[in-house]
Amino acid sequence: MKKLTLSMLVIIVLVAVGAWYSTRIPSTPLADVNSSELNASELIAKGEYVARASDCVACHTLPDSPAFSGGLEMATPIGSIYSTNITPDKTHGIGHYTLADFERVVRQGVAPDGHRLYPAMPFPSYAKLSDDDVKALYAYFMHGVQPSDKPNKQSEIPWPLNMRWPLAFWSGLFTDSGSYQSNTEQDEQWNRGAYLVQGAGHCGSCHTPRGLAMQEKALDESSPQFLAGALLDGWYAPSLRNDVNTGIGRWSEEDVYQFLKNGRNQHAVVYGSMTDAYNNSTQFMSDEDLYAMAHYLKSLPGDPLRDGEPWQHKPTTVTASMAAQDAAAKTYLARCSSCHGTDGMGRGQYIPPLAGATSMLAKEDASAINVTLNGSGRIVSHGVPDAYRMPPFRQQLSDKEIAEVLSFIRTTWGNHGGAVKVQDVTELREKTDPASSQVIILQMR
């Protein structure tokens, strides 16, 4: 009897502690700051820059809707959730937030009423934002954004899966608390780059592989998994480490800078969700910050074991006589060669090469299939839409033709990504068809 009472007591205490832990409103280091004083125009302008670097627009703004009024649908296997209105509207937006409320949402994923945010909001990354940047961001959202009275949409996840308190344990396990701490062994530029890549830039949301609980396996360079490339939403987000094949091992810091500044360089052009990240975020960042990001990324070592044999260019020209013998070469000549060249070398920075392309070297072939089926999005660089864009071949090529031509590209010019299965093209065709019942709606941004 005594034993039973004791164990009952232990259980009750554990439940009580658990309940307190998972429903508490955590403390914030910014509790003592007077929110109403954060309205200086320089601070608002700085906040706008932080919002650009954080790409808040990507999820919180829909095309043809007021800026930051939310409503983006993100499908999860258990139902859809919607991004929220973060304009300063007092009823439907975040106009009633104090700085402390704002800090908890952005860096800790806890709303003012104590409910936990789904980590679709990249708060594990934003946790690294400095106090100063959080204050600036707050000033911008309170005073630099037009209020919108667009109501929020309710999440469609059914009870009991819609309970938020378990997310407190998720956060406890998978996030690091505290903003970015400078690494004293590295210089100022490296630290600035690390701060931007890990924090505002939340590059890891797409480029770091995720674990079973959908947590990013690493949040900084202490692990070789950080930014090591990940498959999500029908795209392969390549490694941002010095991997020769699947990463940026062959890129210089200048190449990385060009990619973030112009959306293109001699090696690659943005596609998939990176187009949004470029259109809304990286192109607006200062040269100094972009060079810092490039400097930091180029400091991350590659992993030859994961990355495989380094790509070696084997020049080949696809000719009519090759094409007469081989259906895949024929498709290449008719459909691909006009832009990417009979030699697979593309046209400078304007049309990317296929020889040595990450998507043709990675064993994950999702990006190669996806961009062939659906083309690339519109790149708007400094207000000017791109002149050259990958067209969609969804209507023109069959699954078999796409599999054949991609297998050809992935095994020519020294590329060693390997063959593409017809089945995988069929699947991705279905999943990226907006009319299908199993369409991927969430594009992690």
Partner 1 sequence: MELWNDMKLQINQQTYDVDVAEDTPLLWVIRDNLGLTGTKYGCGLAQCGACSVLVDGEVVRSCVMPAVSAVGKQITTIEAIEQDDVGKRVVQAWVNHQVPQCGYCQSGQVMAATALLKATPNPSRDEITAAISNLCRCGTYNAIDAAIDELAKPVGGNA
Q: What does the radius of gyration of the chain's CA atoms come to, in whole angstroms?
A: 24
Q: Which residue has the tokens 């995720």?
A: 210
- With respect to partner 1, which residue has the nearer C-beta, 22 or 407? 407
With CB under 8 A as the contact rule, the residue among 129, 333, 369, 402 that binds partner 1 is 333
Give the C-alpha separation, 202 to 128, whole Å. Answer: 10
Burial letters 227-241, b for 16+ CB under 10 A, else e: bbbbebbbbbbbbbb
**266 near partner 1 (CB under 8 A):** no
Q: Return the residues of window 301-320 that contact partner 1 according to CB under 8 A.
A: 319-320
Q: How far is the CB of 382 from partner 1 (least distance, A)?
A: 8
Residue among 322 and 442 whose Cβ is closer to partner 1: 322
How deeply is 194 buried, as exposed, middle or buried, from its count of CB atoms within 10 A (0-12, 13-18, 19+)? buried
Task: Give the whole-angstrom CA distance, residue 267 versus residue 255.
Answer: 8
Q: Does 351 bind partner 1 (CB under 8 A)?
A: yes
Is there binding between residue 248 and partner 1 (CB under 8 A)? no
What is the closest distance, in whole angstroms, from the C-beta atom of residue 325 to partner 1 in the complex? 8
DSSP helix, strand, coil percent of the chain (3-state; round to 5): 40, 5, 50
Residue among 149, 313, 348, 423 that touches partner 1 (CB under 8 A): 348
Instruction: Decide whether 104 or 330 has the Cβ nearer to partner 1.
Output: 330
Query: Least distance from C-beta 418 to partner 1, angstroms?
Result: 25
Site string for partner 1, 54-73 (x = CB under 8 A): --------------------
Helix (H, G, I), strand (E, B) or coil at 264: strand
Tell me whether residue 392 or residue 418 sits nearer to partner 1 (CB atom).
Answer: 392
Instruction: Rule CB under 8 A: choose which of 26, 157, 388, 422 binds partner 1.
Output: 388
How many Å apart are CA 24 and CA 32, to the nearest integer?
19
Residue 204's closest CA among 192, 214, 190?
214
Residue 105 per-residue DSSP state: I
HEC sequence for 274-335: HHHHHHHCHHHCCHHHHHHHHHHHCCCECCHHHHCCCCCCCCCCCCHHHHHHCHHHHHHHHH
Sketch the per residue contact string, 391 through 420, with partner 1: x for CB under 8 A, - otherwise. Answer: x-----------------------------
List 189, 342, 398, 426, residue binding partner 1 (CB under 8 A): 342
Q: Does 323 bind partner 1 (CB under 8 A)?
A: yes
Write the Ramachandran bin of 434: left for phi over 0, alpha for psi from -120 to 50, otherwise beta.
alpha
Of 83 and 372, which has the nearer Cβ to partner 1? 372
Question: How many residues in the shown chain lie near partner 1 by CB under 8 A?
Answer: 23
Binding mask 191-220 for partner 1 (x = CB under 8 A): ------------------------------
- In Å, what is the CA distance from 55 to each residue of 202, 245, 275, 346, 398? 9, 28, 12, 30, 36
Q: Which is nearer to partner 1, 293 or 323 (CB)?
A: 323
How far, in Å, CA of 131 to CA of 178, rounded?
10
Q: Is 350 in the site for partner 1 (CB under 8 A)?
A: yes
Q: Does 355 bind partner 1 (CB under 8 A)?
A: no
Task: Please give the residue ranges that form the binding site for partner 1 (CB under 8 A).
Answer: 319-321, 323-325, 329-330, 333-335, 338-339, 342, 347-348, 350-351, 384, 387-389, 391
